A = this chain, B = another copy of it.
Amino acid sequence: MPDLVNKHEKLYIIGLMEKLWKLSEKTFDPHRINHYETIFTQGNGYFATRGKFEEYYPKQQEATFVHGVFDDIPVVFTQLVNFPDWTTLEIILDGEVFDLTNGEILEYHRHLNLKNGLLKRSLRWRSPKGKISRLVFQRFASMADVHIACIQVSITPENYSGELECQSSLDGCADTLRFKHWDWENQGVDEDSCWLNLRTHNTNIEIGMAQRIFINKNLNPEREAWNIREKPATSLKASLQEEKTLQIQKYAVLFTSRDCEEPLVAAREKLSQISNQSWDSLFKDHQSVWNKLWDQNDVIIEGDDRAQLAVRFNIYHLLIAAPRHDDRVNIGAKTLSGYGYHGHIFWDTEIFMLPFFTFTQPEIAKNLLSYRYHNLPGAREKASENGYVGAQYPWESAGDGREVTPTWVTHQEDRTNLIRIWTGDIEIHISSDIAYAIWLYWQVTGDDDFMVEKGAEIILDTALFWSSRLEWHSDRNIFQLTDVIGPDEYHDHIDNNAFTNYFAYWHLCKAVAVAEWLTKENPFKAKQLFERLKLTEQTFRDWNNQAHQIYLPYDEKSGLIAQFDGYFNKKNVLASDFDPRTNSIQSLLGIDGANETQIIKQPDVIMLMYLLPEMFEQEVIRVNYDYYTPRTDLSYGSSLGPSIQTIMDTRFGSEHEAYENFIHTALMDINDLRGNTKEGIHGASAGGVWQAVVFGFGGLRFNQEDWWIDPKLPAHWKRLSFKFNWRGESQIVDIRPEISAQ
């Protein structure tokens, strides 16, 4: 496949078909609403709201999350707190409550427009008493001003005239998975607006929300405001005329004490400012930001509409979750779209999501990495508690960077039994994953300032941790790392996990390099930092010596790398031996049963080779790819597996395998392939989709000097085009195999 890239020529994307941007729901099923709530999530990097309906349904799982607003909870320590729901509208049509589970649905269509973040629902409904109405709901979370959310409802009575009543309240007792975090502070109402001031119970974060509802002015609606404690509400009443369309609009505003001193005052002021602005003008501002975002971030695929839509869907979810204005927050494993993992942050950010941001929006990547910088105190606390030096990052991280991995969870079948979760104790590769992401960011952006100000400190302080964590094995004259967990969590309490050992080696080497670079680049800063971290020339010499004595498993004869000591003594079975199946190998065999086999939850040695290709000969990678691939539980193991596997498939496997793994990960949430999309978007998978397309099919590679591509497009793809930034300059890749074939 020839290289068709014209690097510096600007290309404009035009004429895209609508269907390549719209995710649709064609029928209303009250039992499947939770899946759609997740995939229809809207957001702006400050807050996000699940795609619940404006009216109430018993099984709804509404959520509005704001980055950084965590509060304490037993067992899992802390969780992202659900905000009062700004989408609620109770609509009463001529005395009958609008509710799709009553009466009859005559037409129904809902779609999320990925291009502008608008969620739109159009329907015709016959009420139990036979009154037919057309309703169109539209809403967006403003990208132009992240504190604003807007809803518009158009109502047309088809065969009746009567009274419309519309109630809008703010719910001060919004729960988070049935837990109440909010303490009431203050509230109020006036003619058509209401406001609410709450505080998280333990973390003491104050929030202010305010909202107003409007109705066509000429109708002169009857207004009521109800100031009931914890539930301020307003109501509008107006006349519905047969076949006349009436519009309701609702503007909501939210602030927290993380972003301003007086969130209630800020919310009320902002609401008052936007009250005179039309829906159209607010939407226009919002849309223009989305246009810029897509101009920068779109990936164009021609010849595969399903893939095109799915890739945009995954990019959309990264964009709405990415903190654009705050460098003290990060993206949880389930983004801001569901309750899964309680908003906790994992390596999913650094290894799976960050490459997308690093390459397309380095400012966001910098925010995400700065979160880790601000949380160094928590990492230092963890290292010290465990008897080590320097900084050891938590496996699960939240508001303040302390370890928040639950230590125990209840056994699902035996309520008196508990299962000990070990990842927070011994899945130690996270510290290198963060260093790796910084290194990648530095290489791709050339942002020396960040490295001087923040990056170096993280890399050096975590190197201190590794240096103290390494165990000297005097018989073998090596440093080893025993009792760890690698990326493959089917096997825990293992010794010398290849991924962890190689990364410890890589980490210490890079730390020495960073120290040298910093000394040259900014001797003053270097001196300050080294003094603060108690680093001397001897430290760097020690690191270098230690690094080269770390045991790096590798069998010269076979070229195989043992994932950990004794891996090859495990039962030699393949994942396909258990097909067909609808569950993970761990579910089928139990925790101990899976542990006894060679089957792994996700790429581990292969993952290492994907991230650090320069450390391995191509033939070694191929040998290990061939060995580990059939032993990886790609279909029901970790959702982190298939995307990385796609990339390695494009390099060492078949096009068929690559595409299968790609489409599985790309459709994972749209089609709820794992059955748990209701708990939130698989953020790592979304980031992995972008990597699979750009690094896998697009074949983007780079070294310290430059980048190049080695495309491996699926045969039916007619075009793949994407943009990225390289050292401050915008780059465009546009691959059109058919043109070249002509």
Partner of A179 from the list B77, B179, B226 (CB cut-off 8 Å) is: B179
Within 8 A of B (CB), among A213-242: 224, 226-231, 233
Is A180's CB under 8 angstroms from B183's CB? no
Partner of A229 from the list B56, B178, B224, B229 (CB cut-off 8 Å) is: B56
Given A77-B415, A179-B179, A416-B407: A169 in contact with B229 (beta carbons within 8 A)? yes
A90 CB within 8 Å of chain B: yes
Is B230's CB under 8 angstroms from A226's CB? no
Interface size on A, residues (CB 8 A): 34
Partner of A228 from the list B74, B179, B228, B415 (CB cut-off 8 Å) is: B228
In the bound complex, what is the Cα–Cα distance between A693 and B424 (angstroms)? 56
Chain B residues with Cβ below 8 Å from A408 are 408, 418
A201 CB within 8 Å of chain B: yes
In the bound complex, what is the Cα–Cα distance between A685 and B74 (angstroms)? 31
Within 8 A of B (CB), among A142-195: 167, 169, 171, 173, 175, 178-181, 183-184
Which of A175, A228, A407, A418 has the most CB atoms of chain B within a 10 A radius of its CB?
Answer: A228
A15 CB within 8 Å of chain B: no
A580 CB within 8 Å of chain B: no
A572 CB within 8 Å of chain B: no
Nearest CB to that of A418 among chain B residues? B408
Nearest CB to that of A73 among chain B residues? B178
Chain B residues with Cβ below 8 Å from A417 are 407
Interface string of A375-414 (1 = CB under 8 A from B): 0000000000000000000000000000000011010000
Chain B residues with Cβ below 8 Å from A175 are 173, 175, 180
Nearest CB to that of A235 among chain B residues? B226
Within 8 A of B (CB), among A549-564: none
A58 CB within 8 Å of chain B: yes
Partner of A231 from the list B201, B231, B407 (CB cut-off 8 Å) is: B231
Chain B residues with Cβ below 8 Å from A180 are 173, 175, 178-180
In the bound complex, what is the Cα–Cα distance between A74 and B178 (angstroms)? 11
Nearest CB to that of A425 among chain B residues? B416
Nearest CB to that of A177 among chain B residues? B180
Is A228's CB under 8 angstroms from B230's CB? no
Give A167 Cβ to nearest chain B Cβ, in Å.
Answer: 7
Give A379 Cβ to nearest chain B Cβ, in Å.
Answer: 16
Give A81 Cβ to nearest chain B Cβ, in Å.
Answer: 12
Chain B residues with Cβ below 8 Å from A171 are 173, 230
Give A302 Cβ to nearest chain B Cβ, in Å.
Answer: 48
Chain B residues with Cβ below 8 Å from A415 are 77
In the bound complex, what is the Cα–Cα distance between A418 and B407 (angstroms)? 9
Partner of A90 from the list B58, B167, B229 (CB cut-off 8 Å) is: B229
Nearest CB to that of A227 among chain B residues? B167
In the bound complex, what is the Cα–Cα distance between A181 and B177 (angstroms)? 11
Is A228's CB under 8 angstroms from B418's CB? no
Within 8 A of B (CB), among A460-481: none
Chain B residues with Cβ below 8 Å from A230 are 171, 173, 231
Chain B residues with Cβ below 8 Å from A226 are 224, 226, 228, 233
Give A92 Cβ to nearest chain B Cβ, in Å.
Answer: 9
Give A327 Cβ to nearest chain B Cβ, in Å.
Answer: 28
A75 CB within 8 Å of chain B: yes
Nearest CB to that of A408 among chain B residues? B418
Chain B residues with Cβ below 8 Å from A418 are 407-408, 418
Chain B residues with Cβ below 8 Å from A74 are 74-75, 410
Which of A77, A231, A418 has the most CB atoms of chain B within a 10 A radius of its CB?
Answer: A231
Give A202 Cβ to nearest chain B Cβ, in Å.
Answer: 10
In the bound complex, what is the Cα–Cα distance between A77 and B417 (angstroms)? 12
Give A630 Cβ to nearest chain B Cβ, in Å.
Answer: 38
Interface string of A55-99 (1 = CB under 8 A from B): 010100000000000000011010000000000101000000000
Chain B residues with Cβ below 8 Å from A169 are 228-229, 231
Given A77-B415, A179-B178, A418-B418: A58 in contact with B184 (beta carbons within 8 A)? yes
Nearest CB to that of A167 among chain B residues? B228
Chain B residues with Cβ below 8 Å from A231 are 169, 228, 230-231
Chain B residues with Cβ below 8 Å from A90 are 228-229
The 8 A-B pairs of least Cβ separation, nearest first, read: A173-B173, A178-B180, A226-B226, A231-B231, A407-B416, A175-B180, A228-B233, A169-B228
A-B residue pairs in contact (CB < 8 Å), sample of 10: A58-B183, A74-B410, A173-B230, A178-B179, A178-B181, A179-B179, A226-B233, A230-B231, A407-B417, A408-B408
Given contacts A179-B179, A226-B228, 4 further A-B contacts (CB under 8 A): A74-B75, A178-B179, A407-B417, A408-B418
